[in-house]
Structure 1
Amino acid sequence: MLGSDILVEMLVRHGVETIFGVPGDTNVSLYMALQKRMDDIRHVMARDERSAGFMADAYARLTDKPGVFECPSGAGAMYSLPPVAESNASSVPVILLTIDLPLPGEGRGVITELDCAKLFEPVTKMSIQVKTASKLPEIIRRAFRVACSGTPGAVHLQIPEDMLTTDVDPATISLHVDEECKTFPAFPMAAPAKRITDLLDLLAKAERPLIVAGGGVNRSCAGPELTAFAEALNIPVVNTITGQGVIPDDHDLAIGVIGDNGYHPHANRALEESDLALFIGSKMGSVVTVGWTFPKLTLNRRVAQIDINPERLANNYENLLSISGDARLVLNQLLEVLPKDFDGTKHTPWVDRLNEYRASFWKEANTLLTREDVPLRPERVVEVFSQRLKAHGKAVHILSDAGTPTPYMTRFLKIQDRRTRFIIPRAFGGLGSAIPAVVGAYYADPDRKPIGMFGDGSLGMTAGELETLVRLNIPAMLLLFNNGCFGWIKGLHRLRGHNQCFGVDFLPPQGQAIGEAFGVKSWTAETSEQLDAALAEGFEMNAPCLIDIRVESLADRVPPVYSWLRKRERDPLTLQVEDVPYV
């Protein structure tokens, strides 16, 4: 067998149905092998290696399989770095195959020569170079094992081109796969029985317990178990941005989003006032804790933590109890031994208080959600979208870039169907993920409409992937938040008193014209009526479409960001909703 055939065979045996990538000088042999196996594995050509990586990332987030993408040598590898770093830091299992220069050219000044294994070391769980074709099966098995076990993450394999053109005697290798490592989490860990009973004892003694659901709950697909556990004990739930969707937003126990960016003041109040906070699948990092300044009453000695990675336990606070294990397994353990006489009614006054906070906030928020300003306020855009999403009545996948959509979507979007997933890359906050991500989302589940949200800064980075959507007929609906600037950065300039902002403004793109130039059905929405009409049509389309929404900039008013409001000497926990100027 040729090394290229061995590589593809191992991918197929590991259950890989889709591989994303970009053609180049060095990966021709791989493409020839993939072409022979078109009935078993699909290759999706992206227009940029970074885009291919974000496609794989979205695919992995929305399935229980690692996302796989490939790239050629040199610049192809360098362009692949941002999505790999994002996946690894976000605990998303992704495998990158860099098809590199032949080994004999190493160190001889061959064009595009680069030590890719070393390049990816800081941003992956494993980054190695294949030096013998006969080791390809072993290394592929290891790649899946590392990506899918423990804390999921990214793996990079640097495969010299001559490894794929070498003949290998099949009798000298084993093409077996580790069945456990075809999906993630592989080898999930349960918790010791005593830790489970200790946690239940803590929860029984607490007067104001709170569950904080992080991205690990979504990664473990533990939303139903978390909801059942919260209901059984009558404990309210708040979530981080990456934990959104683990419990329906209209549930009595679903209080809202905590942290800095797009937070709910009533949810932050819940953490402030709780006497026991159970963090599940959360790093308890800088966004959730607003740089470890929130809550004002320190979390020390009132935290219990469940995380698949023991290195994260008690990393930032002095925990009362730490449990290492998979979120879904541990929640099931808790449900299995929960005493039948557990009385959760004592938490009812606590739950009622938080729901009073929540009701007050949404009553106040209605004044912003219904305002008909021009350009459109982001709050109004979210409200119109939420109503159309509800009318659509089907689960969708929403993939957002960092930037303008983030603070307003996380605060005001209402997701009532747990099957709907809302994903924002939060590790590094780079732009340019949403448009390619809808491709990965579609191949993860073709029955759920992918919806991409991004600003005009992001569009400028990945507009070429509009061709990919048309070529593959991806029925994605794209929402362009168009305001002619890098709004988040411009807002930071103004927050620091620099009203004559420098280097952040550009010409607003003609989004409708750009979409139509690629063959994408497109609209321009300057009013809520125009937006609603476009959304109504877009939700029903079975082809790609784009809505160019002319919105107010994040630099015009201080967005719902806890730390920014505090810098403007406003109370971030107030339930009143008001416009906050920068000056």
Structure 2
Amino acid sequence: MRGADIVVDMLIGYGVEVIFGVPGDTNVPLYEALQDREDEIRHVMARDERSAGYMADAYGRFTSKPGVFECPSGAGAMYSLPPVAESNSSSVPVILLTIDIPLPGEGRGMLTELDCARLFDPITKMSVQVKSAEKLPEIIRRAFRTACSGKPGAVHLQIPEDMLLAEVDPRSISLHVETECRQFPAYPTLPPAAKLETLMSLLTSSKKPLIVSGGGVNRSCAGPEVTELAEKLNIPVCTTMTGQGNMPDDHRLAVGVIGDNGFHPHANWALEHADFVLFVGSKMGSVVTIGWTFPKITLNKRVAQIDIDPTTMANNYENMLSVQGDARLILQHLIEMAPANHDPAKTQGWVDDLNELRANFWENAEPLLSAETSPLRPERAVRCFNEALEAYGKPAHIYSDAGTPTPYMTRFLKIRDRHTRFAIPRAFGGLGSALPATVGAWFANKDHRPIGMFGDGSFGMTVGELETLVRLQVPAILLLFNNGTFGWIKGLHRLKGHNQCFGVDFMPPKGQAIAEAFDLKAWTATNSSELDVALEAAFAHKDGPCLIDIHIESIADRVPPVYSWLSKRSKDPLSIDAEDVRYF
């Protein structure tokens, strides 16, 4: 067997159905091997290595399997850095294969020579160079084991081209795979039973308990378990930004999103007034705690944490209890342990108080959600989308860029369908992810409509992937929020008192014309009526991708629902009054 055949054979053995990538000088042998097995594994060509990485990232977020992508040497590897860093920090299992220059060329000034193993080492769980074709099976097994076990993350393999061309006697190697590592979490763990008993005691003895469901719950696919445990013990649930969608938004125990960006005032109020808080799958980092300044009443000695990674335990607060293990497995055991005689009336007053606050919030938000202004307000656009998504009535994979759409989608998006998933890459906040991510989201599950949300700044970075969507006939719905500026950065300028902002404005793209030039179906919406019509047509459109160019107010024109920004404008972030907060 050639080394390239070994790689492809191992990937198929691990259940890899699709590998994303970009062709180059060094990866031709890999492509030959993939072509020989194209009935068993599909290669998806992206137009940029960064885009291929975001496709793999979305695939990993929306499945229980690692996303895999490949790139050629040199610049291809460097372009792959942003998505790998995002996946690793977001605990998304991704495996990158960089096909590098032949080993004899090292240190001799060969074109595209780069020490990729060292380059990726700081941003991955494992980064190694393969120096023997006979070791390929062993190293690939280690890659899947590392990516999928413990805290999931990214793995990088630097494979010199001559390793792919090398001839290997199949009798000298073992091509076996570890079936446990075909998906994550591989080898899920449980804490000692005594810890679970202590945790159950804390949950059932509290008068104002609260569960905060984080991104780790989505990684562990444990949303149903969070809901069931909350229902058994009658405990309200908040989510972090990355945990959004763990629980249907119209559930009587679903309070809302906590933290800084796109928060719900009543959710943050709940975090401050709870007498016991169970964080599940959350780092409790700067966004959740608003730079470790919230709650104002410290969380010390009223928090328990469930996390697969023990290094995150009690990192920012003094925990009452730290419970290491897989979120889904732990929650399943807690459900079984829930006392049959537990009295829901004990916490019903607390639940009623939070539901009253939640109802008041949505009532006060009505003027913003129904406002008919020019340009179109983000709140109104989100309501249009909510209504269209509900009318569609089928599950979707929604992937939002970290920039312009984030605060308003996080606050006003309503996900009622249990199978619809919502993802935001929040580790590094890089732009340009959502458009290519719709490709990975579609391959993750073709029964779920892929939807990408992004601003015009992001659109300019990945517009070439429109061709990929059309070539593959991915039925993605792309929502372009168009206002001719890097809105988040411009808002920061104004927050600091600089009304004459510098280096943040550009020509608004003609989104519909650009999309149509790539043979996408496209519409332009400048008001809610046009957006309603476009969304209805987009959800009905099944022949390939489509795009809606939404001309929308910038978050630099009006302060968005960001706790720290409102505080800097001397506004009470927990107020539920529907007022316009201006920068000047």
Give the structure-1-normalised TM-score. 1.00
Find the counterpart in structure 1 of residue 286 from structure 2: 286
Q: Deviations for 1:309-338, whole angstroms, at most 9, x for unmatched residues?
A: 111111111000110010110001111121
Find the counterpart in structure 2 of residue 571 from structure 1: 572
How many residues align? The count is: 583
Q: Deviations for 1:101-144, whole angstroms, at most 9, x for unmatched residues?
A: 00000000001100000000000000000000000000000000
Post-superposition shift, 1:205? 1.9
2:411 equivalent to 1:411: yes
Find the counterpart in structure 2 of residue 497 from structure 1: 497
Q: Match for 1:302: what amino acid?
A: R
* Matching of residues 477-556 of structure 1 within 5 Å: 477-542=477-542, 543-556=544-557
Structure 2 CA distance, aligned partners of 1:431 and 1:556? 20
Structure 2 CA distance, aligned partners of 1:332 and 1:30? 42
Q: Deviations for 1:519-555, whole angstroms, at most 9, x for unmatched residues?
A: 0111110011110001001001112000000000111
Find the counterpart in structure 2 of residue 425 from structure 1: 425
Structure 2 CA distance, aligned partners of 1:235 and 1:402? 30
Q: Match for 2:555: what amino acid?
A: L
2:379 equivalent to 1:379: yes
Find the counterpart in structure 2 of residue 250 from structure 1: 250
Q: Deviations for 1:175-196, whole angstroms, at most 9, x for unmatched residues?
A: 0001100100000011211011
Find the counterpart in structure 1 of residue 180 from structure 2: 180
Q: Match for 1:535: what amino acid?
A: L
Structure 2 CA distance, aligned partners of 1:2 and 1:46? 26
Post-superposition shift, 1:343? 1.5
Find the counterpart in structure 2 of residue 454 from structure 1: 454
Structure 1 CA distance, aligned partners of 2:527 and 2:318? 50
2:123 equivalent to 1:123: yes
Post-superposition shift, 1:204? 2.0
- State the SS of the aligned residue for 1:461: helix
Find the counterpart in structure 1 of residue 213 from structure 2: 213
2:68 equivalent to 1:68: yes
Find the counterpart in structure 1 of residue 196 from structure 2: 196
Q: Deviations for 1:416-462, whole angstroms, at most 9, x for unmatched residues?
A: 01211111100000000001000000000011110000000000000
Q: Match for 1:504: what amino acid?
A: V
Structure 2 CA distance, aligned partners of 1:248 and 1:203? 22
Q: Match for 2:567: what amino acid?
A: R
* Matching of residues 43-442 of structure 1 within 5 Å: 43-442=43-442
Q: Match for 1:53: what amino acid?
A: G
Post-superposition shift, 1:13? 0.3
Post-superposition shift, 1:344? 2.3
Find the counterpart in structure 1 of residue 562 from structure 2: 561
Q: Deviations for 1:497-519, whole angstroms, at most 9, x for unmatched residues?
A: 00000000000000000000000
Query: In 1, are the aligned partners of 2:150 and 2:185 still within 8 Å (CA)?
Result: yes
- State the SS of the aligned residue for 1:243: coil
- State the SS of the aligned residue for 2:229: helix
Q: Deviations for 1:221-272, whole angstroms, at most 9, x for unmatched residues?
A: 1111110000000000000011011110000000000000000000000001
Structure 2 CA distance, aligned partners of 1:184 and 1:402? 25
Post-superposition shift, 1:342? 1.4
Structure 1 CA distance, aligned partners of 2:190 and 2:387? 40
Query: In 1, are the aligned partners of 2:127 and 2:155 still within 8 Å (CA)?
Result: yes
Q: Match for 2:471: what amino acid?
A: R
Query: In 1, are the aligned partners of 2:200 and 2:337 still within 8 Å (CA)?
Result: no
Q: Match for 2:374: what amino acid?
A: V
Q: Match for 2:16: what amino acid?
A: V
Post-superposition shift, 1:156? 0.1
Query: In 1, are the aligned partners of 2:213 and 2:282 still within 8 Å (CA)?
Result: yes
Structure 2 CA distance, aligned partners of 1:56 and 1:123? 16
Structure 2 CA distance, aligned partners of 1:313 and 1:417? 32
- State the SS of the aligned residue for 2:339: coil
- State the SS of the aligned residue for 2:242: helix
What root-mean-square deviation, in Å, do the aligned CA atoms of Structure 1 and Structure 2 show?
Answer: 0.5
Structure 2: gaps of 5 or more residues: none
- State the SS of the aligned residue for 1:417: coil
Structure 1 CA distance, aligned partners of 2:191 and 2:362? 39
- State the SS of the aligned residue for 1:397: strand
Structure 1 CA distance, aligned partners of 2:33 and 2:201? 58
Q: Match for 1:243: what amino acid?
A: G
Post-superposition shift, 1:578? 1.0
Post-superposition shift, 1:479? 0.3
Q: Deviations for 1:347-374, whole angstroms, at most 9, x for unmatched residues?
A: 0000000001000000000100000101
Structure 1 CA distance, aligned partners of 2:114 and 2:348? 61
Post-superposition shift, 1:200? 1.1
Structure 2 CA distance, aligned partners of 1:128 and 1:536? 49
- State the SS of the aligned residue for 1:242: coil
Structure 2 CA distance, aligned partners of 1:524 and 1:475? 18
Q: Match for 2:448: what amino acid?
A: R
- State the SS of the aligned residue for 1:47: coil
Q: Match for 2:70: what amino acid?
A: E
Q: Match for 2:184: what amino acid?
A: F
Q: Match for 2:570: what amino acid?
A: E
Q: Match for 2:357: what amino acid?
A: Y
